[in-house]
Amino acid sequence: MTFRQFAFNNVLRNKRLYIAYFLSSMFTVMVFFTFAIFAFHPAFSNGSVNQNALLGMAAAGGIIYVFSFFFVLYSMSSFLQSRKKEFGLLIMLGATNKQIRLMVFLENILIGFFATVGGILAGLLFAKAILLVAENVLIISESLPFYFPTLATVVTFGSFMLLFFFISVFVSFILRTNKLTDLVKGDKQSKGEPKASIFLSVLAALLLLIGYGTAIYVEGVGVVYAMIPVIIVVTLGTYLLFTQLSVFFIRRFKNNTSIFWRKTNMLLFSDLSFRMKDNARTFFMVAIISTVAFSAIGSLYGFQSYLTKGVKEMNPFTVTYSPWRDDSKEIIENDINKINAILEEENVEAKMEDMELTYYEMLDQDRQVLITKASDYNRFAALIGEETLNLEKDKAIVVEQSDAMLTQGTKASEVLMASNVPLKSGEEIKPSHVIKSDVLGELNGYYVVNDDIYNQLGTVVRSDHSAAWKAEDGQTEQVIEAGRKLDERLDHKAFSVEYQLYEINKAFGPILFIGLFIGIVFFVSAGSFLYFRLFTDLDEEKRKFRSIAKIGLTETELKKVVNRQIALLFFSPIVVALVHGIVALTALSHFFDYNLTVESSLVLGSFALIQIVYFLIVRFFYVKQVKRMVF
């Protein structure tokens, strides 16, 4: 048996020991590979997707790669931690440091090779699924058929063999060989309980409060300036929260014997404080990574809904037509006929209304103001099923658009309410109240007056023609197709909401997809960190529970302790991340001045749900393992 054979057999015959490390490495390769399959898809390279999206994808690939590096490094080092005893034994038998490093290096290369190959194979299985998902999220005109990803395979294989090579070199160098007895004793030694300083604990709470306070308080553009400082403050605060404040609370708790000595609390919390040093780092990392995932996905989703919802709310009609200012009557008539023809061509059943928008000079305002008669307004309102107005004689009201898109400065309605509607006779009519409606698209607001009064108004300064169509529900596809044709043939005079939304989604799709992908990668790896944390201590846990079971520990008590222990491990960082996420998304909604509650709760809620499912699965296997050993 040569040394090389020894190192290889050590891995191959010890599959159980290496499986966790192997699987997590394979997982990272798989993630990268599936992303590469997507990114290198021939449908993109022929230039149908814009350059920015491709750049974004390249950046995303880079982020995944760098992240993979740290992830593999972390799994490697936690894996080596659990093998101290083995190294001790080898040194005792006379292995030199150099040989141990060589062994670790060889093992790593071997595992790395198989993980890369395995990851690529597993990725191929998922390729079709990921392409299908991409096709649906992306809204691209071409479909994304399955192809044999030669380029993606080569790139993945090359970059990951390189990654594993560097990690092997890196790890074998940082592998410190401590005193032999320490190694052989392995993890039996106490790492010492972490101590908490009151000053730093208070600082932690303070930093978090300041960070949260600022993030929630600032509005508009201030959010951008506050972002970097808040991120730094909150990150620091989170670190101190886990390393200091939590330790502080646990210690306080331990000193309270009436709680600490109650039933299984003692077992649970003594362990918690004992492990806090290791846990704190993991918690911190998981909390930050998850926060990044939550905020990224939350903001992208929120941004998309902000864009689409705004457009939708402002444009209740299927198609609106507004001609250029100098278009003659014939052109307008011609255009309207064209639109009707196109709608008919696409089998869209729609009703149409049109009117003249008349603008008047106002005495105390430096702009022309739209004044419409109630009957015109009501015709348009009826078309989209809005409430019609029943105006008494010599009454006027102000209409402004609903505040989906708020402009800076004074509201349109305030300006209009402040002045009166002048009549030919020199009389003036004071507007009575403001209503919100999207019936007519006029950003600056307008007056609606009774038909009789309308006839008594002064001279019309400007008059625009406006026509609107409302299609019956359930014709989305035809409407989009019609919208495309309208856009082509009427050079932007006709506006179709559905088509506009389709275009926004199409442009936004790749960004959303990439964001979603990276967010999920981050979140899943956060889960893996927790898994590693839990299973590194598994052997010691088993030993501990066995020795307690000898004295007498019922299965229910064991389950209770283990259950709470895992719950604390799994949920404390995620709860912190969720709170961070809520604050971040609140700040975002302040920035847009747009309510993101539904979107935030949807994103954060689904992550919380996933974490709960993950917790249940891990708990099932963990309890099974411990129970098999103990009872």
Partner 1 sequence: MLRLSKVSKIYEGKVAYRALTDINLEIEKGEFVSIMGPSGSGKTTLLNIISTNDMPTTGEVEIEGENPHKLKKNALAKFRRNELGFIFQDFNLLHTLTVEENIVLPLTLDGTRVKEMKEKARDIAESLGISAIMKKRTYEISGGQAQRVAIARAMIHKPKLLLADEPTGNLDSKASKDVMKMLEEINDKEKTSLLMVTHDPQAASYSDRVIFIRDGKLHSEIHRGENRQAFFQKIIDMLSLMGGDGNDFSSVRV
Q: Where does this chain bind partner 1 (CB under 8 A)? A: 188-190, 257-258, 261-267, 270-271, 273-274, 544, 547-557, 631
Q: Output the DSSP codes for 529-547.
A: HHHHHHHHTHHHHHHHHHH
Instruction: State in angstroms the smallest separation of the CB of 4 from partner 1.
Output: 32
List the one residue out of 303, 308, 310 whose CA is nearest residue 405: 310
- Please identify, using beta-carbon distances, which residue of 189 and 455 lies nearer to partner 1: 189
Q: Judged by CB, which is closer to partner 1: 250, or 339? A: 250
**Which residues sit opposite 354 in a β-bridge?**
467
Q: Judged by CB, which is closer to partner 1: 394, or 539?
A: 539
Tokens for 186?
A: 């392995």
Question: What's the closest the beta carbon of residue 265 comes to partner 1, in angstroms?
Answer: 8
**Which residues neighbour 46 within 8 Å (Cβ) at sequence distance 6 or greater?**
none
For residue 427 the two structure tokens come to 């009389």
Distance (Å, whole) CA 284 – CA 265: 24
Q: Which is nearer to partner 1, 43 or 272 (CB)?
A: 272
> Smallest distance from the beta carbon of 183 to partner 1, in angstroms?
17
Q: Which is nearer to partner 1, 503 or 540 (CB)?
A: 540
**C-alpha distances in Å from residue 232, one per residue of 223, 237, 449, 559, 584:** 14, 8, 56, 39, 13
Min dist CB 125 to partner 1, Å, is 39
Cα gap 37→85, rounded to integer Å: 42
Q: How far is the CB of 273 from partner 1 (least distance, A)?
A: 8
Which one, 524 or 623, has the nearer CB to partner 1? 623
Three-state secondary-structure class, residue 359 = strand
Long-range contacts of the stretch 601-609 (C-beta < 8 A, 24+): 602/301, 603/294, 603/297, 603/298, 603/301, 604/294, 604/298, 604/578, 607/290, 607/293, 607/294, 607/523, 607/574, 607/578, 608/574, 608/578
Closer to partner 1 at the Cβ: 187 or 353? 187
| Cα radius of gyration rounded to whole Å, the chain | 33
Query: Closer CB to partner 1, residue 255 or residue 390?
Result: 255
Kindly tell me which of 141 and 190 has the beta carbon lying closer to partner 1: 190
The least CB distance from residue 621 to partner 1, in Å, is 21
What is the number of residues in the chain?
Answer: 631
Mind giving me the DSSP string for 459-522? -EEEEEEEEEEEEPSS-HHHHHHHHHHHHHHTTTSEEEHHHHHHHHHHHHHHHHHHHHHHHHHH
Closer CB to partner 1, residue 281 or residue 544?
544
Strand 396-400 relative to strand 431-436, pairing: parallel
**Beta carbon of residue 536, minimum distance to partner 1 (angstroms, whole number):** 16
What's the min distance (Å) between Cβ of 266 and partner 1? 5
Least separation in angstroms between residue 566's CB and partner 1 is 17
Question: Residue 262 or residue 433: which is nearer to partner 1 going by CB?
Answer: 262
Strand order in the sheet with 494-496: 431-436, 396-400, 446-449, 368-373, 350-361, 460-471, 319-321, 494-496
Three-class SS of residue 352? strand
The distance in angstroms from the start CA to the end CA of the chain is 40
Cβ 188 to partner 1 shortest distance, Å = 8
In the complex, minimum distance from the CB of residue 543 to partner 1, in angstroms, rounded to a whole number: 10
Please give the C-alpha separations between residue 27 and each of 109, 114, 589, in angstroms, as whole numbers: 16, 12, 35
